[in-house]
Amino acid sequence: MTHEPRFLGNLKLEQRDDIDPSGKTWELLEDLGFLRKDGILVIGEKGATTDGASIPILLQRIIGLPIQDKYAAPATLHDGGYRKNKPVVLIDMNKTCGLDAEVVMAVWRDLPNLMDCQKGCKCDCFIHAETMSRRFWDETFDQGNRVKGVTDWKRRVVFRAVCMFGWKPYEEK
């Protein structure tokens, strides 16, 4: 089933100089969700950290800053998939017995209890994030940038950069 990609919740970040004195680390203050077109709901948990989009310094004047709003939400979730120290939850919306993504986003921590209470419905909708491929996370980042309105040429440049240079952070997880 194809879904309309969209963000759920508002991006609220706080700079964390106590974690990284360089000022490049930001903490997610509320859960942030993103519904992918394949129906996978990606949730960055409150407390997750990000360093923003990996945009080379030479390209930042053209592409934009790593933590700009358009890049920050997709980058936060992408970082969560790439690094195990940044909590991320995956829920297959195709297995939530018709619950709306906004509802699931609001109650995801209690979802197994809620789903098991419905007649004939068992909760097998959670996916282990660490089993997802690098390509899955790169596509999530790209879909998120599209939803945020990043222009096609900028989106392609950033996506190619992630594909070309993202292997090291992904392998280190």
Segments making up each domain of the chain, as ranges: 6-171
- Residue 22 is predicted with a pLDDT of 75
Per-residue confidence of the chain (173 residues) as pLDDT tens digits? 789 999 999 999 998 888 777 777 889 999 999 999 999 999 999 988 888 766 777 777 888 777 776 888 998 998 888 876 557 888 899 888 788 898 888 888 776 665 554 445 556 788 888 888 889 999 999 999 999 999 999 899 888 887 777 666 666 65
Structure tokens at 83: 């690094």
**Rounded to 5°, angle at Cα 13 from 8 and 15:** 165
Which ranges in the chain belong to alpha helices (H)?
60-63, 69-82, 101-107, 111-117, 134-147, 152-165, 167-171
Strands 32-35 and 40-44, how do they pair?
antiparallel
